[in-house]
Structure 1
Amino acid sequence: MTTLLRRLLLGATPADALLTGRLPFSTSSRRTPHRFRRSRRSPNPAPPSPEAVSAAIATLPSRLTPPLLSYSLSSFSDARLLLPFRKIGKAFHVYTLMRASADPAARPSTDTYHALFTALLSRGGGDTMVHYMYMDTVSALFRQMLEEGVPPDTRALNVLVKGYAQSLHLNDALRVFHQMRPVYGCEPDALTYSYLVHGLSEQGRTRNAREVFDEMLAKGLAPTEPACNAFVSALAMAGEAGEAERVMWDMARAGRVVDDVTRRAVVEELWRSGRRDDAERVVREMEERGIVGGAERRALLRSLHDEFGDDDLDVDDRWRNTR
């Protein structure tokens, strides 16, 4: 194409030559347009053959301990073993080969199932619908785990409880929770209770959440901060501002400080229920205990003024209502 244009232009008249100087492209370049160039990238490596993967699986008992295998399944790919675990499909392919292995040491263990549960439920972040979709697969894996005679531990059962709670299957989460001790011989820990409290609170089931919460405290276990935030917020939104305040202070004494959204919900509910003095007292105590600073206290009181239209509220006078 470029050679043909050059020949035509060499035989052109001076007027035509003047026109050629205005052409928007150069005829002297022999470079191939970018879209016609061949890619210089190296071809993608061929995937490992099933025989190579099977051979790698056969060496697992001597080369990888169960904890290291579980970490590999959920975290990274070991190129030396030809096991690309970064994609969940590859991990399930390896899991299938492990189940078919004749070597008992290469069979899936509790750590393997725990890694697969965690990998599935970590997809989608906090999206409830994504967890809802993957919980069927997790439930099927759990049934396979029991059929294979692999005893679950507290960690694996905690992942089940968390998955059911996050996918809004709270009754299934409670069922697993009540079966942990009598059926599986596992003792619920602080994470088990926290997942239940968090899920029940998000659904507004404050009565059930309070029962689980009280049972946890009776055992001397401390809830996680997300569970505290969800429980206190649920109590405040349910109109139980006094109970929400009590739980908030109990958790503060235990080293669990609720976040700013939860603090705002408690104060606003106290103010909305007509307990203005209690709301101001709570804000003042938060500042005295170092939970909030002066700027946050003023912002909180100013938001109450803007929402409820109290012209008598002096957000800059710290001790106006001190008794």
Structure 2
Amino acid sequence: MALSKPTFFTHLKTLTKPHHHSPPPFLSLRLLSFATPEEAAAERRRRKRRLRIEPPLNSLRHSQPQHHQRPINPNPNAPKLPDHVSVLTGNRLNLHNRINTLIRQNDLDEASLLTRHSIYSNCRPTIFTCNSVMAALLRQSRYSDLLSLHRFITQAGVVPNVVTHNLLINAYCDCRKTDTALEHYKQLINDAPFNPSPTTYRILVKGLVDNNKVDRALQLKDEMLAKGFAPDPLFYNYLMLGLVKKPDSDGVLDLYNELKEKLGFVSDGIVYGSLMMGYFLKGMEKEAMDFYTQAVGENSRVRMGAVAYNSILNALSKNGKFDEAMVLFDRMMEEHNPPRQIMVNLGSFNVMVDGFCAQGRFGDAVEIFNKMGEKKCTPDTLSFNNLIEQLCGNGMVSEAEDLYKEMGEKSVNPDEFTYVLLMDASFGENRADDAAGYFRKMVEMGLRPNLVAFNKVVSGLLQVGKIEEAKGFFDQMVEKLKMDAASYEVMLRALCDAGKLDEVLKVVDDMLKDDGVGFSSEMHDVVTDALKKDGREEDLVRLFEEKEREKAEALAKEAESAVTANAIATTAAEIQTKEVEVEAAIVNEATVESVLVNGGVQANNGENVGEAASVEAGIADVELAEEESKGGIVVISVLDSNLNLDLDDKVEEEDMGVSVARRDGMSWVLDRLWLTMDRMLEKLLLLRLVMLMRDWQKKRAKATNLLKKLRFDSVAEQVTA
């Protein structure tokens, strides 16, 4: 198809146009701020001048030469910071979960052992894992194991945090060692790289109040406020409880007013129970009930929990308002909806059990105790002991024993106090065999009965005339515990009344061996009167004389041991000195020999004998001193001097003199060496003899005691002689 001429020219114009459009001209954004490029250049110059005068900090840091940057060495004595919770990852988190599983299974021994072993593995436990184990030990009152584990991890380099310090302070307070707890608190304040927490002050003030140190607790409040901590209602509640115990009702009200002044409105219900107790102490019952209405009434702004409710329950129960307490307890049971809302705990049931028992309603107390399981509250040993004590004190021993059997069914381990309660109740009903059985069961369970438990079982058995059985328990008590005078006196009186004079003398012997127990004049008269009835009063005199002689021999042995130790130390020092002398003698021997050899070489190498008048040689002149008449030891002195050897003499005479001097020097050194070795041998033999004598004395004492036990007194006297 042919194209017209206009169309053809139009196609030619289209083909001659470029297919790619050129980009628009670039306009700098900086030019948009200034009128002309000259102004922009002037601004750049001003910026450069300003940076030269005031350079930025990052340019200064990078512009410093490398040799001026000194590495900052950390102070090795600076306290280390504890680990952050972010370290609980990977294998360390797996170890943490594994140990917590053992804790939940109540296998604390295995958890503690695994913590110790993992310290030396490639997966060290964190301080959070160690705190979990120590907290579990604290809950079971295993204070010695807790302190041992803390000492172990501290020596292994695990840095404790504030929770670790709180656990230690809590353990000290539970052991009634508040002074140690305060010392640890001061150490935390002065040395730790972190501040104590409010929990630290709560633990301390509770321990001080429980140990009747309210004044020191009030000082601690001032210290806490001075350090900038906010007023803590729980802290003030512990102080108010301490003042209630004194009792000091005015102090309770003053503390509440101080807390209210600082907070404006006390919204925490924990303090209202103590406040009600303070008003009840002052006889202001109306004001107390007004605060009760303010705390638990309708439209109340006070936050209430299980602990706050328990304090109000306790205040109502102990001040004649038990009906109101029952109404409040029913309300708590209705509101209790775990885990979203917990309004009842073990303390709530314990308060109600005490209230029912105080009203004489023991059946209701047992019934309310059995309701614990319905509200997912498992009773512990303290709860069982509380009810068992109430039942035993009111003659309901069979019900108390049923509760004891129920402890085994619910896997609750009884403690020493549980068995002591059952022992007292059994002795009260003339069931001595059952009481002794409870004591044996306590020992079989691995518990450690204290002196009070031993005294109860011994006294109870003696009262029913079972002296032999009581004597068996008494012997165990002497072996395991630190006795007191009262324990000995009870047993002595019973044995004297029974006429067992041999046993009386044995107990007196044990009593005299115990340095912490004195033999009173009253007991001396009792034992003497009992021995006079059988004409054996001289046995007591001989026993006292024998003990005095044994004490004198013990003092003599101590003095002898001190002298022997001093002699051994002196001998060791002398031996060390002799060794130094021998080494010095060997060095002198080598020096003398080298000097004499050098002198002989110089004499042999003198070619112009007639020309040389004299040669100065630094030789040691060996002179023979006078011979001592007593010891027969030749004293030889070596004098440092410069000898002028006359070289006009014959060479043979010079060689002869050198050889004689060398021979005399060697003989002196050898004599001195042999003398020193001889003395050292004498000292070693003496030391060996002393050690053999000490071993023989120990073996002789053991043999004598064994013969006395076997009643071979005559043979024992011969061995002693």
Mean Cα displacement is larger for which, 302-311 or 278-287? 302-311
Q: Post-superposition shift, 1:117? A: 3.8
Say which SS state the counterpart of residue 214 (structure 1) adopts.
helix
Amino acid of the residue matched to residue 423 of structure 2? V
Equivalences for 1:268-279 in 2 at 5 Å?
A: 268-279=493-504
Q: Post-superposition shift, 1:200? A: 1.7
**Counterpart selection for 1:155 from 369, 382, 392:** 382
Q: Deviations over 1:20-69 (max 9, x none)?
A: xxxxxxxxxxxxxxxxxxxxxx9956342574353399777x45553x66
| In 2, Cα distance between equivalents of 1:180 and 1:304 | 46
| In 2, Cα distance between equivalents of 1:57 and 1:282 | 72
| In 2, Cα distance between equivalents of 1:209 and 1:220 | 18
| Greater share of residues in helix | 2
1:198 aligns with 2:424: yes
Q: Post-superposition shift, 1:203? A: 3.3
Say which SS state the counterpart of residue 286 (structure 2) adopts.
coil
Amino acid of the residue matched to residue 198 of structure 1? D
Equivalences for 1:7-86 in 2 at 5 Å?
A: 44=284, 46-47=286-287, 48-49=289-290, 51-55=293-297, 62-64=303-305, 66=307, 70=310, 74=314, 84-85=315-316
Report the identity percentage: 18
Q: Post-superposition shift, 1:282? A: 0.5
1:264 aligns with 2:489: yes
| In 1, Cα distance between equivalents of 2:443 and 2:464 | 22
Larger relative contact order, structure 1 or 2 (CA cutoff 8 Å, min sep 6): 1
What's the counterpart of residue 247 of structure 1?
A: 473
Mean Cα displacement is larger for which, 47-56 or 170-179? 47-56
Amino acid of the residue matched to residue 543 of structure 2? W
Against the structure 1 CA distance between its residues 253 and 281, is the aligned structure 2 distance closer, same or farther, given a 3 Å change threshold? closer
Say which SS state the counterpart of residue 386 (structure 2) adopts.
helix
What's the counterpart of residue 126 of structure 1?
A: none
| In 2, Cα distance between equivalents of 1:259 and 1:119 | 40
TM-score under structure 1 normalisation? 0.64
Against the structure 1 CA distance between its residues 94 and 106, is the aligned structure 2 distance closer, same or farther, given a 3 Å change threshold? farther
1:302 aligns with 2:525: yes
Instruction: Indicate conservation of the 8 Å contact 2:484/2:517, yes or no.
Output: no
TM-score under structure 2 normalisation? 0.31
| In 2, Cα distance between equivalents of 1:259 and 1:198 | 22
Against the structure 1 CA distance between its residues 266 and 321, is the aligned structure 2 distance closer, same or farther, given a 3 Å change threshold? farther
Against the structure 1 CA distance between its residues 65 and 253, is the aligned structure 2 distance closer, same or farther, given a 3 Å change threshold? farther
**Counterpart selection for 1:108 from 344, 360, 363:** 344
Q: Deviations over 1:142-169 (max 9, x none)?
A: 2454565643222111112222222232
Mean Cα displacement is larger for which, 186-195 or 229-238? 186-195
Amino acid of the residue matched to residue 502 of structure 2? D
Amino acid of the residue matched to residue 288 of structure 1? K
Q: Post-superposition shift, 1:217? A: 0.6
1:230 aligns with 2:472: no
What's the counterpart of residue 325 of structure 2?
A: 94
Q: Deviations over 1:98-147 (max 9, x none)?
A: 322442146432121224445777x7xxxxxx9xx464553343245456
Equivalent residue pairs, number: 258
Amino acid of the residue matched to residue 526 of structure 2? S
Instruction: Indicate conservation of the 8 Å contact 1:286/1:292, yes or no.
Output: yes
Against the structure 1 CA distance between its residues 65 and 147, is the aligned structure 2 distance closer, same or farther, given a 3 Å change threshold? closer
Q: Post-superposition shift, 1:293? A: 0.4
Q: Post-superposition shift, 1:224? A: 4.2
Amino acid of the residue matched to residue 381 of structure 2? T
Amino acid of the residue matched to residue 368 of structure 2? L
Mind listing any 5+ residue stretches in structure 2 that lack a counterpart? 1-281, 547-707, 709-721
Q: Post-superposition shift, 1:70? A: 4.6
**Considering only CA atoms, is the larger Rg found in Structure 1 or Structure 2?**
2
Instruction: Indicate conservation of the 8 Å contact 2:346/2:379, yes or no.
Output: yes
Q: RMSD in angstroms over aligned alpha carbons?
A: 3.9
1:215 aligns with 2:441: yes
Say which SS state the counterpart of residue 293 (structure 1) adopts.
coil
Against the structure 1 CA distance between its residues 242 and 53, is the aligned structure 2 distance closer, same or farther, given a 3 Å change threshold? same
Against the structure 1 CA distance between its residues 288 and 57, is the aligned structure 2 distance closer, same or farther, given a 3 Å change threshold? farther
Amino acid of the residue matched to residue 400 of structure 2? A
Mean Cα displacement is larger for which, 310-319 or 205-214? 310-319
Q: Post-superposition shift, 1:321? A: 8.4
